[in-house]
Structure 1
Amino acid sequence: MKQTDGNPVIQLAFDYVESTNTIVFLTGKAGTGKTTFLQQVKQDAKKKLAIVAPTGVAAINAGGMTIHSFFQIPFGPVIPGGNARPDAHYSPEKKALLSELELLIIDEISMVRPDVLDQIDLILRNIKENPYPFGGVQLLLIGDLSQLSPIIRDEEWAMLGRYYTTPYFFSSLVLQKTPFVQIELDHVYRQKEQAFVDILNEVRNQAISPENLALLNARHQVDFRPPAEDPYITLTTHNRIAQQINNELVETLPGQEFEFKATIKGEFPKDAYPTDTELKLKTGAQVMFVKNDSSAEKLFYNGKIGTIIRIEKDTVFVQCGNDREIAVQALEWSNIKYKLEEQQISETNAGSFAQIPLKLAWAITIHKSQGLSFDKAIIDISGAFAHGQAYVALSRCRTLSGMVLRNPISAHNIIGDPAVAHFNTQARLFQPDAKKLELDRQLYQKYLLTELFNFNGLRNRIAGFEQLIPGLQTEVLSIAAKFSKQLDAGDTGRIRKAAHYFHSALSAIAESLHAQIPALIGKSKEGAAKADQLLQWIMARISLMGHFSETGFSVTAYLTASKDALAASVADKSRSYVKALNAKPNEKLYDQIVVWRKSIAEKDQVMPNRVISEKTAAMIAEKLPPTLKALSAIKGVGPQKAEQYGPELITLIRSYLQKLQNPETEQRSLF
């Protein structure tokens, strides 16, 4: 990954993500570039990754999915422990996707409950068949514990409090026993005034000095009413207050009200709607952009404030200060889902939300302002009721001079959580350096070496086939278990010898299975699927063992070879039992008919099914009708299509049979 602005802390974080599988908690004050880092990792990471977040809005903003959707976790409390398999109901596609996952990024981690993290750990260990925390998947946890905290009702905490000391992610059982590093970004990009940065630091640490509190309260202006041309936005604690301010002010404006309806396609959760589905706007209304301008001009960004100067049909014209007017039309947000394509995790569009990217912006809740920056804001935290609210509100402002306090702030408005303060103090003692990075790189190499000789995947797939390989336990599993305890990444000769031994042992097992499986599974499709999964795993491991019996072991070599081996084993269908069972009679002829059908459809400019259906094509391939009369009797053909397409189809059939039989065949009449 590339360096960013020469910032050594960001480079350290990149190095940890790229060359270790250590869990990383990336934190930092508001405006230090956490979101920018996330997007950079998404763009540059070589690992197969997914991005999740606790809320719909956070997931859309991060370009990922909600935790609950991605892992299919219920919203209520999840009691840890027991032998439950929450992944048991997963589809084969979901299991395959998670089995390929190497890096999981969780944004807004401060809002994630500990039971949710423990559930993710359990699911990934099950799917990966790996006892390591999170099944060996690296976690990149991004967020600021001094900002918004998890939402847990009293009755929920009554259940969870028996197992966890705090409602925060760091109290999860998995993180209590798993080493992780905290990397804190310390360069503030949002604010430039050192005095203001110092105030925010003290508010964040819940220890504001009398001098800085006085400096902050100097921004209190009694009955402040911003002039119409001055775009101040009010940040308030409750949604009803923000709605009331917006509704009252828009109603005072003269002129026609325009309503813009959103277009929603596919799956797009309501809690992720970026603005109103029925957006009501008037000329003169103060609005905020809710999306970044993706064009080269970059005329607006998420959080930019402006005023509507006119509305014409599907276009809203917005003036932002002295900048030129911006013509705003509907833009689209995507709700992504992840899928596995050729052993790579890719994004697919599950749904979309299209709307004018604006919302009324005389007021907004502190919660919804997270991640935004404002030049001018009126702050009202007199009703602050939760940890982090005061800090989030104040840190939205770029300058102290751009802030007006609706009411004076007192120390009791700055609500903090002692548990967070204690965790932050402890975590700062263990911030990593170059030496720690090198140690964690070595641990990663050792972990991957244990993965090479980890046969849990074979053990879990062998059920039902044990009798076919009676020597598995003594010749493979027991020896692998003993060898794993004596692993040394520096002992190249011993690793090569071990790889050579297991390459030979697994090759013999594969040949034995291929010889015996057909008689065992018969016509069982379930048995065929299990046999394919077993042989795919074995063939991939044979390829890996063959590679490392000749080549030295390294992180890069292992990651490359394992991906290549898995892709090759999945792609090779030559000995697939499922394919053999599902094969259509005369499949080559069927494929030729489908190709012919496509060419006819393109020539006649119709859909392929208008020519003949796939079911009909399969029936023709199976029945091999020798004449037009026999062809017309097949369901889906009939006399008319037999007359129209029959000569070409009969020619295909005869050509196919001739290639099968080889000897010269007499030219019989089509009729």
Structure 2
Amino acid sequence: QAAFAHGQVYVALSRCKSFEGIVLISRIGTSSIRTDSRVKDFSEEAEKNAPDKGQLQQEKAAYQQNLLLELFGFKSLKRAINHLNRVLLEHESKLLPGAVEQFKALAGLAEAQLFPVGQKFRRQLQGLFAQGGLPEDNEAVQERIRKASAWFAEKVRDELEPAAKNITIVTDNRLIRKTALEALEKLQLELFAKHACFTTALDGFKAHAYLRAKALAELDFQAARHQAPPPEKETIRPQDLEHPELYARLEQWRKAEADKQDVALYMVLPTRTLLELARNLPLNNAQLKKIHGIGKGRIREYGAELVGIIGKYCSEKEIPTDTLPLAIQEKAAKKPKPDTKKISFELFQSGKTIQEIAEERGFVQSTIEGHLAHYIEQGELSAADVLPAEDVEKIKQFLAEHPEAALSEVRSHFDDAYSYGEVKMVRAEVVKWEVGSGKAEG
């Protein structure tokens, strides 16, 4: 008989729709019927302090005010935006370009227009609430609500909802795609619910109508999604592609190749690589190497087919291949680098001094002297063209007497009167003479 506590008996009996048919196997003892003093005290206290009509009216007004502040507040929408932002930034490297930019456009619109206007209107409402009474019965409040609801409903319907639908999630990673799409759907649901609630308030605010619209929003959102026609395949492709038809052909080729090998699509080529192929139009193996995700192995396996698909597309569309980005890069790479020594030599020949050439080219003087030493050794310039003849002769004489002397020894002999470059130029002329003499003897 003492197997159950009083609360358990109460719960069990409370689930019965009636006591008809219940048979007790033993009499309920008087000791089993008890009154909890805490429950009794609470009931008595509640009866003594029952709210009067004034208090009920005051609480009702406060409740309606909170609902209105909630309607024109965007806390849940901000949470949805921040969540999607975190997901996109965390996986940005795995997503095709576009989603982050599209999201930033939506977030920027909300931050610049929706949220500030909502905050300002909430302050106006709080000023009107000071008049007292129920917001539902205050015509001044209702007039402001009708006008504000029209503005917010239009802003959400015409700008924010389309912007959210415009966000395209494209990635080969199924888990990331699922996470990002769930975050995006949550954002779209919040916008849908806000629009539904603002629409309900177009004819004035009614608490029960607002609560009903809010409660039904998720059901209506899911119903609308199921009723909408399935998106065409093109809708999952990156937007703003200059060559969408080529991208479609590459997708078809990848699917056929994946089916043939019985592997996942990304194992043939990642979607990011398809995008780069469609944007850059590589037409040979050297250009294919510049595409992210294509190495020697994939070039060996798929290079000919990819170049064939892209080449055929360019021919059909009469695209001038020499103007394509990768072709231009190839030309630039093949362009020989300018001969820096020759530039210095030509500037000297034009009448500029070594100091002027160094300043113009951003080099130190010794570098320019080294450039000119090269042409002195080649016989296209004389040391006397650069230095005073008497200085040239002094250095030459020392070098003749000390042919193995290092540049530092030559400078030391003349108490550092000449720079390394000046000594180097004179030595270049000596070397030229020695080589010439050797040839003559030969």
Structure-1-length-normalised TM-score? 0.24
Q: Give 1 or 2: higher helix fraction.
A: 2
Greater length-normalized contact order (CA 8 Å, ≥ 6 residues apart): 1
Q: Give 1 or 2: higher strand fraction.
A: 1
**Larger radius of gyration between Structure 1 and Structure 2:** 2
Structure-2-length-normalised TM-score? 0.33
